[in-house]
Amino acid sequence: MVTPLTVFSQADAFRKTANLILPFFAAGAVYANMICDTGCTYLYGALFGVDLHYLGFMLAAAILVFSLPLKNQGYRMIARHARACLLYMAVGGGAVLLHFQWVHEIFCPFCLAYGALIFILFMFNLNRTIPLAAAISFAAGLAVFALFFEGSAMPVFQF
């Protein structure tokens, strides 16, 4: 018996491709931000003293690694949950970063593009983990960024 083609089955096929391709675009947005010299160049952010550029690269790399096809069913399940929890944490932290830009009225197009790509990945992986783990991951990302994010939106001049 042939199963009917539904929106969910099509989205599942596209999710696998998106999980492998979109992290490269996200890393490209981070790199473009690093070499950018527009009005938002004086935006700076760090978490635990680590520049957000490097954390952005690490998040994209982790999502890519957890999206690689695996033969072992157990490893696939662990990777799926880890990827989903990372994305929930990233969206929680991204809410704090978006608030930071909103408060300072400086919007970096590359940061917003990165956030949009992560949010798209989040939407594709929305129900790929246990709801309690998802809620804890989102709250952890929100709390960690709210408590430990160090940001600056002031122009820095060098004499």
* Domain ranges across the chain: 11-150
Q: Which amino acid is at 12?
A: D
Provide the pLDDT for residue 83.
Answer: 93
pLDDT for 115 equals 93
Answer CATH for 11-150 from 1.20.1440.130, 3.40.640.10, 1.10.3720.10, 3.40.430.10: 1.20.1440.130
pLDDT of residue 44: 84
* pLDDT for the residue numbered 106: 83
The H-assigned helical ranges of the chain are 7-35, 52-67, 73-104, 109-124, 131-148
C-alpha–C-alpha distance, residues 152 and 112, integer Å: 17
**pTM (2 decimals)?**
0.85
Show pLDDT as tens, one digit a residue, over the chain (159 residues). 666 666 666 777 788 889 999 999 999 999 998 887 776 777 888 999 999 999 999 999 999 999 998 888 889 899 999 999 999 999 999 999 999 989 988 888 888 999 999 999 999 888 777 889 999 999 999 999 999 999 887 765 555
DSSP string for residues in 85-126? HHHHHHHHHHHHHHHHHHHHT---HHHHHHHHHHHHHHHHTT
